[in-house]
Every structure is written in structure tokens, then in C-alpha cells.
Amino acid sequence: MTQSNSRNDVSRRKPQGYSQKAKFHVAIVPDGNGRWARARGLPRESGHGAGVEAVRRVVARAPALGIDMLTFFAFSSANWERPHAEVRGILRVLEQYLQQDVRGWTESGVRLRVLGRRDRLPGDLRAAVESAEQATSRCERLELRLALDYSAREAILRSACRLYTALEISPDAFARLLDGTDTPPAPNVDLLIRTGGEQRLSDFLLWECAYAELFFTERAWPDFTAADLDAAVAEFHRRERRFGRVPDAAAG
């Protein structure tokens, strides 16, 4: 007997059971700021300042490449373990970035959202986050997400704990919990770029990267240009994404 209702018809399900959105989501681990600065005899903080310039270049270029959503790993929960002065420096650079660019975002249609814990952020930074999110809430051209005091494991664990009595939940609803928002969940990451030569995820978007194409480059983040983004996206388009299936040609 065949089951014809769509709930049980596996062939009608999307890969992984997610609703596949047409959005193009690129996630970036911008690594190498400190080494970039040290190689120039500069304090590590100047590397973070130069890193913000690279973020600006990529945000400006993204819409032309069809990117709808960009998620940066701006400050991980593990980064609290760095020397206090560096942590302060990074958070100060981020606060200035938000304050300086919010007006430009409203003009160019960039919507800002912040992922991660907010309770441990300095009050001024938290205020800058809230005000930028509010000011850009109607922008629709590009969604720029900054992960601040973010740990993917913690996000997954927190969501699982909140749900421990639920017997079943859809992947979309779970993704919404992970984001900690009431808005539609972020689509899965299509392309993950990590600069600075390391090849690991470092607790970034573990759930969302399940089928991400990974792109690693030796280039330090402050040296990353719009042309480097073009090259990463071109490489992405050359990849064949199969989501566990066979290539179309072999499917018969």
C-alpha cells in the first residue's frame, strides 16, 4: 500500500528535512588578525582594526555576488580567555564599527542581527547592538549577522534543554530556537570561508554548516579583498552539491 499524504512521502521531503530557501548564505571565520599585525610590528589590536576594514569590503561586495546573508564569527565565547586588554580592544573595535556603519547600512539596505549571548557584553556594546538592529530592521538587501560571545555548542545545548520535554520538533523550529529569535530561521550555510590558514570550525554554526562547502585560505583576514570573495564564490559555484544523493547524471 502506498502512502500518499505528503507527511509520510519521503520522496517529497527536502534534503535533510529542512525547508531549502533560495537564499545564499555565506559564513566567515575571519582569522589571522593578530599574526597580520605582528608581522608588521604592530599591536594585535591594529590587526582587529584592519580586520574591520576587510569586513567592510566584503559587506560592500556581497550583494553583487548574490549573497543574501553573511554571518561573521566576530567574537567567540572562547575568546574571553584572551588577555583582558585584547578582549577590550576587540569589543571596542566592534562597538565603533556598529556606531560608524549603522547609517550606511540603512542607506544601502543592510540589516544587522547579532547572534550569541548578550548578558556578558559591555553595556555600551549591547546598546550599540540593539540600536543598530532596530535602525536596520526594515532593510532587506543583505542580512549581516555578527556572532558575538557565540558558541555553537552552547546554542545547541541551550535549545535542546529548553525542549527536553518535546517529543518532536521540526528542523526549522529548532533552527529558530538556535538563533534565539522569533524571525524565520537562518538558512543553512552554503559556503563557509576561513582565512588565516587554520582548517577548523572552532565551534561556529555547527548545526547550520552540516552541508556547507568549506573554503580555506592562507590569507590573513585583514588582507582579504573583494576579489578574494569573488574567487571563493566562484569556487563554490564549481562545486557539485549532492546532499548525500548521487549526481543527476547517475540518477537515471
Q: Which are the catalytic amino acids?
A: 31, 79
- Applying CB under 6 A, among 33, 46, 71, 188 the residue interacting with ligand IPE is 33
Unique residue bearing C-alpha cell 548574490: 66
* CA–CA distance, 163 with 158 (Å, rounded to integer): 9
- 31 in contact with ligand IPE (CB under 6 A): yes
Beta strand pairing status for 25-29 and 110-115?
A: unpaired
- Applying CB under 6 A, among 23, 42, 79, 109 the residue interacting with ligand IPE is 79
- 101 in contact with Mg ion (CB under 5 A): no
- Report the partner that residue 185 touches, choosing among ligand IPE, Mg ion, none (CB closer than 5 to 8 A by kind): none
- Applying CB under 6 A, among 26, 28, 32, 179 the residue interacting with ligand IPE is 32
Q: Which is nearer to ligand IPE, 8 or 225 (CB)?
A: 225
**Could you say which residues in the range 23-42 bind Mg ion, by CB under 5 A?**
31
Query: How many residues make contact with ligand IPE (CB under 6 A)?
Result: 10
In the sheet with 110-115, reading across from the earlier edge strand, the strands are: 110-115, 142-150, 69-76, 25-29, 191-194, 213-216
For residue 99 the three cell numbers come to 556606531
Q: How far, in Å, are 18, 215, 221 from residue 193 at the CA level?
A: 22, 5, 10
Q: Which is nearer to ligand IPE, 144 or 177 (CB)?
A: 144
- 203 in contact with Mg ion (CB under 5 A): no
* CA–CA distance, 171 with 187 (Å, rounded to integer): 11
Q: Which is nearer to Mg ion, 83 or 244 (CB)?
A: 83
- Report the partner that residue 222 touches, choosing among Mg ion, ligand IPE, none (CB closer than 5 to 8 A by kind): none
Find the shortest distance in angstroms from Cβ 146 to Mg ion: 17
* CA–CA distance, 207 with 188 (Å, rounded to integer): 8
Are the CB atoms for 185 and 210 separated by under 8 Å? no
Q: Which is nearer to ligand IPE, 188 or 217 (CB)?
A: 217
Q: Which is nearer to ligand IPE, 37 or 189 (CB)?
A: 37
Q: Give me the 90-109 binding string for ligand IPE, x by CB under 6 A, dash otherwise.
A: x-------------------
- Interacting residue ranges for Mg ion, rule: CB under 5 A: 31
> Which parts of this chain interact with ligand IPE (CB under 6 A)?
30-35, 75, 79, 90, 196
